[in-house]
Amino acid sequence: MPDNINFIYIQWLFQTPEGVLILSILGVIGGLVMGGYLRKLRDEKRLKKQQDQAVIENGLKPITNFTAQLGNPQNPGILSKEQRLAQIQKGQNPYVCGSSLRGNSAVFYGRENELKGALSVLRNPDKPGNVSILGERRIGKSSLLNQIYQMLAAAPNVVTIHTTMQNWSIDSQATFFTQLHQAICEALEIAFDSIDDFAKFRDFIRDYAKKGYRFVLIIDEFDLMTDNTYFDAEFFSNMRALGEKHEYQFGYVLSSYQPLFDICHQGGIKESKFWNIFGTRHILGLLARREAEQLIQEPTQCSLDNDFNQTQEILTYSGYHPAFIQMVASEYWNAHHLGFAVNADAIQLLLYSFYKDLWEHRSKAERELLLKIAKHEIPKDNATLMNLRQRGLVDANNQLFARFFEQIFEQD
């Protein structure tokens, strides 16, 4: 019986004016629903395209651990010291404590040889070279990398990519290559492709190298990269090929606490020979005496109305160490500007933890040698002394870099 009723109902729909009207209405409704669905898909696609275009046109950045730039001769690059000092405003403390110095910072002093040396290697006409920057914590490695990045902003057709390993959110090699590729595409103002492995990234780099582009990848705190289990010997073998072969026009600038040879061997990636392509190495130590004095005197002259003549007091605490000069000079600047006495206890407590960290990261041989120097025993030149001198714990006269540093030995 129900089947007969269904059949009669279907006949009624197709054979009566009322039924045809109902079918027409249902057809219109179905068309509207389907049309709405198709319009939604089209709108979503258009929105995605607009978002991608906005990334390019408006400088909106995708989620990435990298920043990148395309060099242009119209960019200023590194400004002269006079131009940088002109940025300082009266009545504002110019010193920077606790963070790296941005590109063209008014209080970036020294490192001229390292900057010129790195630029010469990276501008090699055959291909960008590979540069290793070594040094103690807070000696200024990150600040130097920022100046190199700023310097390359004026290099035509050079894509410079910068990243720091601290607080990285990389969970796979696929994420690494995806984000690195996105940052480069953003700098080149081109659409993003689906690139999530080395082979695709390598081909992408080779294609754009043929178009006349050169690439420099700056990695800060490289030591932490080899601790990441996602980056194995095969990964670094591939990255070595990028930085070694002419067809990719790809170079590196890496900063680290330890030499790359030691990092690669301790990290279990010695088979990659990644360290072997770095023919240029700069070890950051103390500033020259004149540079240290100027770091105190010139910014204070630009920012204070009254004469400032406490340079030697500051150097007693800091030596010619750039970061410690910034810390102590900042305290003296505040006291001078606000009209109160310098709190020597506060300065010593401020420096104590940093100086203790320097002491605790020394080998047994280095500690023994530092203790001899503190007792004014003149050591003979050897590898340990040369390393301490290069890394800024001992000055050019084989004396401790700061008199206050000796107090750490006495309390240890």
DSSP 83-126: HHHTT--TTS-----SSPPPTT-TT----HHHHHHHHHHHT-SS
Helix (H, G, I), strand (E, B) or coil at 205: helix
To which H or E segment does residue 163 belong? strand 158-164
Alpha-helix residue ranges (DSSP H) falling in 153-190: 173-188
Distance CA 197, CA 136 (A): 34
Rounded distance between C-alpha atoms, residue 389 and residue 279, angstroms: 22
Contact 161, 176 (CB under 8 A): no
In whole angstroms, give the CA distance from residue 374 to residue 187.
Answer: 52
Structure tokens at 315: 């150097």
Q: Which residue ranges in the chain fall short of pLDDT 70?
A: 1-15, 17-63, 267-268, 409-412
**Nearest-angstrom CA–CA distance, 105 and 86:** 11
**Residue 291, token pair as written in the block:** 């540079």
pTM here is 0.83
Q: Do residues 145 and 133 touch, judged by C-beta distance below 8 A? A: yes
Tokens of 349: 């407590």
Identity of the residue numbered 199: A
Alpha carbons 274 and 137: distance in angstroms, whole number: 23
Integer CA distances (angstroms), 328 to 39, 110, 397, in order: 64, 18, 23
CB 403 within 8 A of CB 316: yes
What does the block give as tokens for 257?
A: 């606490």
What local confidence, expressed as pLDDT, does residue 381 receive? 86
Q: Do 298 and 88 meet the contact criterion of CB atoms below 8 Å apart?
A: no
Find the distance separating the first CA and the last CA of the chain, reported in whole Å.
101
What is the model's pLDDT at position 47?
Answer: 41
What span, in angstroms and rounded, lies between the C-alpha atoms of 359 and 409? 8
Burial of 49 (0-12, 13-18, 19+ CB in 10 A): exposed
Dihedral class, residue 140 (left if φ above 0, else alpha if ψ from -120 to 50, else beta): left
Distance between CA atoms of residues 322 and 140, nearest Å = 7
pLDDT at 407: 77
How does DSSP classify residue 400?
A: B
Rounded CA separation 299/325 (Å): 12
Nearest one of 331, 293, 333, 391 to 88, comparing CA atoms:
333
Q: What angle do CA 71, 73, 78 make, to 5 degrees?
A: 80
Length of the chain: 412
Question: What gap in Å lies between CA 383 and CA 66, rounded to an integer?
Answer: 37
Say what the pLDDT of residue 410 is. Answer: 66
Which of 333, 346, 344 has its CA nearest to residue 296? Answer: 333
Among 3.20.20.70, 3.40.50.2300, 3.40.50.300, 2.40.50.140, name the CATH number for the domain at 67-283.
3.40.50.300
Mark out the alpha helices in 140-232 (DSSP H runs). Answer: 141-152, 173-188, 198-210
pLDDT score for 7? 54
Q: Write down the domain spans for the chain.
A: 67-283, 289-411
Asked if 391 and 139 count as a contact pair (C-beta separation under 8 A), the reply is yes
Cβ-Cβ contacts under 8 Å for 226 (sequence gap 6 or more): 263, 264, 266, 267, 268, 269
